[in-house]
Chains A and B, each alone.
Chain A
Amino acid sequence: MIVMNLELDNLLGFDDFKINFSYPRKIVNSTIKGEFLPNKTNFRFKKVNILLGVNASGKTTLGKAMMHIFNFITHKSPVRLLESVKDKRRKAFFSIDFLIDENIMYRINCEINLDEKDHSKSILMLEVYTAPIGKRDSYEICVRKLEQVKVKDDNKSSLDVLDSVKNLGWHFTFPDIGNTDIRIDKDVLSLDILKRVLKTLDTSITDVQKSDEVENSYVIRSRNGDIFIQNGKIIEDILSSGTKMGIDISYVISSICKGMHGFYYVDEKFTFIQTDIEQFLLGIMIDKLGPLEQLFFTSHNLDLLDMDLPVHSFTFLKKDENIEAVYPSDFIKKNDISIRNAFVNDVFGTTPDLSQLWDLGEFCDE
């Protein structure tokens, strides 16, 4: 699945928020292969989206908003969306443009009038639009071709219009909730990938073996003792924070290699992991993405800005009054300019404001 555009208003931390995932011009010798639809090269999309931003700028919340929307589209259950309405007295809204294959682009607009006392009485105004993607069409052309899908059967509810959208796939992994998919998709995690990732993260690990006795379980052989992982959960917790993250990361890489989900949102999984390892593993994820797949990767690591990736792969989220998306590609037009240097010099207006910290030492003296 590919998300092309997302608009959020009065949902989670977002007000009047827009983020777009198309890019204007073909990139010559791009290090990311196939950032366009197969055989439809004018339909360009950002296959890799590295989201950076200071703390509380909305990186995790954006993932959660997308997750709620995907769940709503697939299961027609608006519960999470209704819980996400920020100002209960005001209408909330989302609009999402996406594709599941190379033939049709979808737009779903949804306006939410929340009934504060009884959520089940809330009113959802739902519109689904589709546009066929022609051989020479770009995203922008398809936007102009969008036509509304009507529910013809009077007995059906307005939510049934979502029946026209099928086969959405996604995988979200957040630092606080870990990777629940390991429990469900038992055969996805590759032992070879897990072994190599964990041995890189912890040199005391000598081997990783799949348990013959307990289902969906692994034994990590370490010079400090054996560690048992069952359903993605570590039984004896003697691993470092970074090594623990390695299990989730191995799952993500395994599922990308197997083309399991098509859409991946990897949220700050590398906080405890050394920067060279983060860059290397991100590089592998990017290389292994399939033709109609998309990766979202959030991080605080500015070293990622030095990776040899197109400028459009990077988006900053920044929060002043509202959260907004800032695209370095709007500021940097030449390839010979360092994105990192531009960031450090606050060209994008996204460096953290440290003014509050200047007096901190004086409080310690007191």
Chain B
Amino acid sequence: MSNRNYNYFVEGETEACLIRAIRQKYIQSGRITKINLLEKDIPSGFIKTIKPFTILIIVFDTDVDDMKLVERLKNNTGKLKKSSHVKDVILIPQVNNLEDEIKYATDISEIKDLLQSKSNKDFKRDFCKCNNVTDCLVKHSFNIEKFWSRKARNKYSIFENDGKKIKLKRRR
């Protein structure tokens, strides 16, 4: 591992659970912070705490097609890039959300099929309780190259998807 620090910003616990499960195996390990940078301004206090050589990764949903949200994310990204401690800001738009990303990167047609949840609504709860997420993904032909690879087609299309920058190359 290089001296770089990776810091993920995710919207909710489900994304955090996924990153905890697949880091070191499919993606760079990094610290996880649950904050929706489409809805919240980045506090200036946080910017002072960023360690040198930090790569910030912002994972966000694109299912609410609202220009206000897009503008806020743009604004937050701009603020973060100004910090001399920030080596890179990597944006990962989820098309349209985590469930759709998982479906796209596996062989399941409904998200409840991943963990045999009772309903699609139960998925998030089951996912965070599951302690073998990686095995379940592999069982359903999880393809890391497809995961977090697409660009949104709505107002979020101004953001490139740089997911490949944090994917580990040694394992498929």
A-B complex is real: yes
Which residues of B approach A to under 8 Å, CB–CB? 1-3, 5-6, 20, 23-24, 28-35, 40, 43-46, 51
Q: Is the CB of A355 within 8 A of B35?
A: yes
Q: Is the CB of B30 within 8 A of A346?
A: yes
Q: How far is the CB of A316 from chain B (nearest CB, A)?
A: 14
Q: Contact flags (1/0) for A323-348 with B, using CB distance below 8 Å?
A: 00000000100000110011011110
Which residues of A approach B to under 8 Å, CB–CB? 331, 337-338, 341-342, 344-347, 349, 351, 353-355, 358-361
Q: Which residues of A contact B29 (CB under 8 A)?
A: 342, 345-347
Q: Which residues of B contact A338 (CB under 8 A)?
A: 1, 3
Q: Is the CB of B5 within 8 A of A345?
A: yes
Q: Which residues of B contact A355 (CB under 8 A)?
A: 33-35
Q: How far is the CB of B119 from chain A (nearest CB, A)?
A: 25
The answer to whether residues A337 and B1 also contact, given A347-B24, A358-B43, A358-B46 and a CB cut-off of 8 A, is yes
Q: Is the CB of A342 within 8 A of B1?
A: yes
Q: Is the CB of A344 within 8 A of B35?
A: no
Leading 6 A-B pairs by shortest Cβ distance:
A355-B34, A346-B31, A345-B29, A347-B29, A361-B43, A345-B30
Closest Cβ neighbor of B34 among chain A residues? A355
Q: Which residues of A contact B31 (CB under 8 A)?
A: 344-346, 351
Q: Is the CB of B34 within 8 A of A345?
A: no
Closest Cβ neighbor of B32 among chain A residues? A346
Q: How far is the CB of B63 from chain A (nearest CB, A)?
A: 22
Q: Is the CB of B1 within 8 A of A354?
A: no
Q: Which residues of A contact B24 (CB under 8 A)?
A: 331, 347
Closest Cβ neighbor of A337 among chain B residues? B1
Q: Is the CB of B35 within 8 A of A358?
A: yes
Candidate in A344, A351, A353 with the most chain B CB atoms within 10 angstroms: A344
Q: How far is the CB of A330 from chain B (nearest CB, A)?
A: 11
Cα distance, A3 to B2, chains bound together (Å): 36
